[in-house]
Chains A and B, each alone.
Chain A
Amino acid sequence: MTVQPDQLANLTLSLLSSIALLAVISLGLAVLFGMMGVINLAHGEFLMLGAFFTLTGVRHGLNLWVAMVLAALAVGAIGVVVERLLIQHLYGRMPATMLATWGLSLILVQVVVLIYGPASNGIPTPLGSIRIGDYSVSEYSLVLVGAAVLLLGLTYLVLTRTRYGTMARAAVMLPDMAAAVGVDVRRTNMLTFGFGSALAGAGGALLAPITAVVPSMGQTYVGRAFMTVVVGGPGVVAGTASAAGLLGGVNSLVSNLTTSVLGTAALLVVAIVILRFLPTGISGYWERKR
């Protein structure tokens, strides 16, 4: 079988959009889990809330892109509330955090079912499709790739180039020392949790037009998000980008060349092999080498 140029272009785009998808669903968790060490089992529901807020915004006449930004901010605000009420009492107690966030995920799903019902009208994929030879590609998948790059870039800038970013990392790494030099650790952690939640909300908002927005949708993504963050390791941006690139790339490539089932299997095999040889994830390995 010879590969035609249009087929190759199409395959590349499909690869990039798989990677982008994995990156946007994982980035928020990378902040909460990879950086802050909070095992947020409600991450899938944060994505779901992002999608539902986008839906609500569009239904109330907002422009889709505006609704997406507002949805991300709204999930960020919910993140702050959750941190104040729940998480701040549980830092450093992993099993307690897991139980609390798992309970939170059940509550969030059921609250959304009660408000919206198990199935409600969604929003169609915006924009059209472009033709590449014999193939056509949804323009929105290019938007997704752009959004992933943008969110990764934004996260990088916020965490490394701002005063808040430095304080946030200090508050997580050495809370006592940070407090001793005058960082308000409580407040900083609250903001970081809100920032991670907003990123999750943005991920969900970006998912809204390509998937079925239903209350149970979080369950589909939470497993893959955790896998990406664990494989990526503690580095938020480098970890997410490298793990999403590797896992999404392998998944998409194998799925396209064989079947979707083998694609999923290949993703799992790669994740297991990486964690066997790089137990701290890809970015953890880089840090040790430096």
Chain B
Amino acid sequence: MRYPHARIGLGTVAAASALLLTAACGANSATDAGSDSKGPIPVGSILDATGPLNVIGKPNIDATNLAIKDINSHGGVLGRQLKLISYDAQSDNAKYTQYANKLTLENKVSVVMGGITSASREAIRPIVDRSKTLYFYNNLYEGGVCDKNVFNTGPVPSQQLAPLIPYATKNFGKKIYIVAADYNFGHISADWAKKYAKQAGATVVGTDFIPLESSDFGAVINNLQAAKPDVVVSLLVGGNHTAFYRQFASTGLNKSMKIVSTTFGDGSEHIVLAPKESTGVTVAFPYFQELKTPENTAFVSTWHAKYGQDYPYVPNSAVTVWNGWHLWAAAVEKAGSLDRDKVIAALESGLSIDSPSGKVTMNPGSHHVTQNVSIAEANDKHGFKVLTTNADVPPAYENSVCDLRKNPTTNKQFTP
């Protein structure tokens, strides 16, 4: 068994040296970022088209392509067309590192968008920070990232859990059980859920963390039956965890407990599950395909025109990705330049856009967006019924701890 190992070792060394070489070559010319040519502007995207995360990645990629097409058909930015360079990270964090290097050093893009899990964001962040390439992370997450170079359009706990937990406490009961994915997103979000539960006067009677590769929820189902909560807060992520809702319903627990979630729907859970298993799951997101606004009606018909009438569902994350591209395009227009510092200054000027989810405003200090948040419940047609919409919900926690105009050198993730 020694020989194959030695070979793998050599291969790694070769790859590493190649990477170092690329990095060394790129470093000399990293600043010119294609800024004064008249040709198309290179922009980059890294998402998962294959592997288990493609459930979320596919709609994100479709949204990226549609946003670029939309911006280009409206004349591009600064009178130039956008040229999208996209890579498939194959649900592998190492690939995020590799492609982030490629986009910044070789393709010299003006902006990088992408990353789905928090782990993938943390793989991209140091690389784009080092090469001073603007980065947008457009998925829902546990909140708190504070970095001059990074902008976030996805909802954070102070926009999802903050309205959802009081809603659940008021309508379903005060005994709460938390079931969360066992990595940083799940743990930090669970802390937030506990905090909001306390504020709402609810009691958390139990918390379970489930590894991402697990799809056997027998033990959790038994714990739930012993604890008898009124509300189950689900912070579960991905295809394996979708089995939870199925096993929950097959045991008949959906008759005595209500599930509320900040993730249900972004991973197409309501598509994969049968209506009788998902009906009644209550969620909070900035966007639902069912939103009845003129902007959204136009958006959904554009989407269906490009991807077909039978597209299962346009999820929230597709629109936060769309918002990321349009905010960036608006900022570049406002700055009149592709220069990173000028674009950041434009993004920090209280910039807002009208999006399918309503008005979206970038907060100058925290680099997170203020946006509408709706509470909805899964219906019996693989979709959602929107119950209430709160307008202009700020990322309250991020705004309270992170002020990048005052402290531009802050570079950390705040946690409760």
Contacts and interface: CB of A to CB of B under 8 A. Distances in A.
Interface of A: 7, 10-11, 14, 17-18, 21, 109-110, 113, 117-125, 128-129, 134-138, 140-141, 209-214, 216-217, 219-220, 223, 251-252, 255-256, 259-261, 263-264
Contact of A260 (B219, B247, B271): B219
Given A119-B268, A121-B272, A122-B272, A210 B250 contact: yes
A121 B249 contact: no
Most buried by B among A128, A140, A252, A260: A260
B129 interface: no
A43 B215 CA distance: 17
B253 A136 contact: yes
A100 to B, nearest CB: 17
A141 B239 CA distance: 20
Given A17-B218, A212-B215, A251-B216, 14 more contacts: A110-B50, A124-B246, A124-B273, A125-B247, A134-B225, A138-B250, A209-B250, A212-B239, A212-B246, A216-B239, A220-B215, A259-B208, A260-B208, A260-B209
B407 interface: no
A211 B218 contact: no
Given A118-B58, A136-B253, A255 B218 contact: yes
A195 B276 CA distance: 36
B261 to A, nearest CB: 15
Contacts of A263: 219
Contacts of A14: 218-219, 221-222
Contact of B222 (A213, A251, A256): A256
B309 to A, nearest CB: 14
Contacts of B54: 113, 118, 216
Nearest to B214: A260
B146 to A, nearest CB: 30
B408 interface: no
A98 to B, nearest CB: 12
A135 B271 CA distance: 29
B303 to A, nearest CB: 15
B194 interface: no
A261 B182 contact: yes
A76 B78 CA distance: 59
A264 B214 contact: yes
A141 B252 CA distance: 13
A17 B249 CA distance: 17
Contacts of B58: 117-119
Contacts of A140: 250
Contact of A252 (B91, B219, B243, B247): B219
A11 B219 CA distance: 9
A2 to B, nearest CB: 13
Contacts of A122: 246, 272-274
Interface residues of B, number: 47
A220 B240 contact: yes
Contacts of A7: 226
B50, B58, B253: residue with the most chain A Cβ atoms closer than 10 Å: B50
B182 A123 contact: no
B242 to A, nearest CB: 3
Interface string B98-112: 000000000000000
B276 to A, nearest CB: 6
Nearest to B269: A212
A263 B336 CA distance: 57
Contacts of A212: 215, 239-240, 242-243, 246, 269, 272-273
B26 interface: no
Nearest to B209: A261
B163 interface: no
B213 interface: yes
A118 B218 contact: no
| 10 tightest Cβ-Cβ pairs between the two chains A and B | A212-B242, A124-B274, A255-B219, A119-B268, A125-B250, A129-B252, A138-B250, A216-B52, A211-B243, A214-B239
Contacts of B243: 210-212
Nearest to A140: B250
Nearest to B240: A220
B243 to A, nearest CB: 4
Interface string B44-65: 0000001110110110000000
B257 to A, nearest CB: 12
Interface string B289-326: 00000000000000000000000100000000000000
B19 to A, nearest CB: 24
B409 interface: no
Contacts of B225: 10, 134-136
B237 to A, nearest CB: 12
Contact of B271 (A121, A124, A128, A255): A121
A120 B213 contact: no
A119 B312 contact: yes
Given A7-B226, A260-B220, A214 B215 contact: no
B218 A136 contact: no
B246 to A, nearest CB: 6
Nearest to A135: B225
A14 B216 CA distance: 10
B403 interface: no
Instruction: Give the residue among A118, A125, A135 with the most B Cβ atoms within 10 A.
Output: A118
